[in-house]
Copies of this chain bind each other. A is one copy, B any other.
Amino acid sequence: MKRTAFFISDGTGITAEALGNSLLAQFENIQFEKVTLPYIDSVDKAHEAVQQINKAGSLDGSKPLTFDTIVDSTIRAELSRADAFMVDIFGTFLSPLEAELHSNSSYTVGKSHSITNDGSYEQRIKAVNYALENDDGARTRYYDEADVILVGPSRSGKTPTCLYLALQYGIKGANYPLTEDDMGEQRIPTVLKPYRAKLFGLTIDPNRLSAIRNERRPDSTYASLRQCMLEVNEAEAMYRRERIPSLNTTDYSVEEISTRILVQTGIERRAR
């Protein structure tokens, strides 16, 4: 039986999606149709949402689920008129938090993914630009500004990780691909030596690396298992020899790689 899950917010819907997905992921045997309704910031829009929810319920023949992060209690009250199972974050937790904090909620709409005036948004965008401009060893002269410099074979996950660290946490990550030229002696490439303390190594299962590379350059030497094994072995030998902290990215998402790098290095989030 299909169930429709609605993620509803007065802002982007990103928090409602994250929360809803984390709960729904616990029910692997049920097929969910997921619908996000962002910017539901008026009673009228909530009324339209109610109709959409009820329609999905009739079509499915089962009650929809709603996960909402709507702050305004009038809008939430309208939403609660839907014939749905409602996971109501603010309704559940805001009053107890007000009591605990001896403070009233400001009931400000759409706060959590909007631009704040603490500079953390600027920090994130600057970090994105930094990651783009210091990608793939293109430039090394701004490495003194880096919070972390990812090293590793081509396609081990360096670039998406730098972008995620920037967008999510405002962390400036540069990345430098280890090529065969760098690796013969299993030593840190000369250009990286002044930044040893910032280095973090990525490694990956050679079979997985070969598969990824084959999608980009089919049947090339670059993508061959032999070449991938060689580069991975050399990189791992260098990490061990030079005591560079490292992570095997084979089974991890960019979110997991990024948060594990923060745990292993102790780098502080500059934005959240």
Q: Which residues of A contact B (CB under 8 A)?
A: 3, 11-15, 17-19, 21-23, 25-30, 34, 36, 38-39, 63, 65, 69, 71, 85, 87, 89-90, 92-94, 96-97, 100-101, 103, 105-108, 111-115, 121, 124-125, 128, 132, 135, 159-160, 163-164, 167-168, 251-256, 258-260, 262-263, 269, 272
How long is the Cα–Cα vector from A125 to B204 in the complex, in angstroms?
Answer: 16
Contact A115 B252 (CB under 8 A): yes
A256 touches B113 (CB 8 A): yes
| Ranked 4 nearest A-B pairs via Cβ | A25-B111, A22-B112, A113-B255, A26-B105
A122 CB to closest chain B CB (Å) equals 9
Name the B residues within 8 Å of A163 (CB-CB): 128, 163, 167
Q: How far is the CA of A161 from the CA of B3 in the complex (A)?
A: 31
Residues from chain B with a CB closer than 8 A to the CB of A101 are 3, 27, 30
Query: Assembly of this chain: how many copies?
Result: 2
Counting chain B CB atoms within 10 Å of each CB, the highest count among A18, A105, A164, A168 belongs to: A18
How far, in Å, is A134 (CB) from chain B's closest CB?
13
B27, B39, B96, B111: the one within 8 Å of A22 (CB): B111
Alpha-carbon gap, A106 to B30, bound state (A): 11
Q: How far is the CA of A132 from the CA of B168 in the complex (A)?
A: 18
- Residue pairs across A and B with Cβ atoms less than 8 A apart, 12 shown, are A12-B259, A14-B18, A14-B255, A18-B18, A18-B112, A26-B107, A27-B97, A39-B259, A85-B97, A87-B97, A114-B253, A115-B251
B132 and A94 within 8 A (CB)? no
Do the beta carbons of A167 and B27 come within 8 Å of each other? no
Min distance, Cβ A44 to any Cβ of chain B, angstroms: 16
A39-B260, A125-B160, A253-B114 as given contacts; A100 in contact with B15, CB under 8 Å: no
A118 vs B105: C-alpha distance when bound (angstroms): 40
